[in-house]
Amino acid sequence: MSGDGITSGDYIKHHLQNMTYGQHPDGSWGFAQSPEAAKEMGFWAFHVDSLGWSLALAAVFFFIFRKVAKNPTTGVPGGLQNFVEMMVEFVNSSVRGSFSGRNDIVAPLALTVFAWVFLMNFMDLIPVDWLPMIAQQIGAAFGADPHHVYFKVVPSTDPNITFGMALGVFWLMLYYSIKIKGLGGFLGELAFQPFGKVGTPVNLVLEGVSLISKPVSLALRLFGNMYAGETIFILIALMYGGGLAIGAFGGLLQLGWAIFHILIITLQAFIFMTLTIVYLDMAHTDH
């Protein structure tokens, strides 16, 4: 794709643009043919690629873990069962170390969050041109201009996905805060901590900012790290069009960055899971 005569800037913008479906200004529905058309569709447009990959990776997680859970081996377990058991034990130990309350949903939620975020991040290790080129060929087969077929394959580089997960955690935190402490206890923490009744206006500002910052930081941390990593992969891919020597150097850079990126995608999944556990622990604990 980088050799199609487009500029480096166009190449980068193309790879960072989502496949967007929504309502055009004339009232018709369809796919956006340019970033400007996607912007005109407004807030209620759908990022088909991000949503599709998120659901597909959730299905992969569900299928693998369900398969192992339905057919466990009591003797010497196979490699897949070993991997799943190791994941479950790792998450259980994280929950025991960070969650002091009693709630049967926390450990399964933490496992789901970790595995799902890791799988979405893992898509960043697939070469940046492979899947977009396949999408372009499929679009061309249906009569679309290949250069107007956009396809992002890393859901966690889309802030809509990261904010969706973060808001899910946020609503759970609010729900359990009110359920465990009561509405009065929850509002009392916002109004009377940390400076007591005298400092209620200041308390509301401080606690309100602290409360709202939790889902915002949770979403932006994951999005920012993964977006930066994807951008670096795209910049390295541009080197393949610069001749044999630069292309070979780009190949070494890509290999080195991919190896280092394995740590990043795992760490980001772990951080998202850990903060989810901590926020739910705060919801179960008095100030």
Known catalytic residue: 217? yes
Q: What is the DSSP letter of 43?
A: T
Encoded tokens for 226: 């993964």
Which of 50, 94, 98, 225 is an active site residue? Answer: 225
Which of 8, 92, 93, 217 is an active site residue? Answer: 217
Residues belonging to the chain: 287
Are the beta carbons of 159 and 16 closer than 8 angstroms?
Answer: no
Report d(CA 287, CA 281) in Å as an integer: 11
Report d(CA 136, CA 138) in Å as an integer: 5
Known catalytic residue: 225? yes
Which of 34, 103, 160, 221 is an active site residue? Answer: 221
Report d(CA 128, CA 134) in Å as an integer: 11
Encoded tokens for 284: 């179960």
CB-based burial label for 100 (10 Å; 0-12, 13-18, 19+): exposed
Known catalytic residue: 93? no
Residues 6+ positions from 61 with CB-CB distance below 8 Å: 112, 115, 116, 119
What residue type is 195 in one-letter code? F
DSSP string, 82-104: HHHHHHHHHHHHHHHHH--S--T
In what order do the strands lie in the sheet containing 20-23? 29-31, 20-23, 46-47
| Residues recognised as catalytic | 217, 221, 225
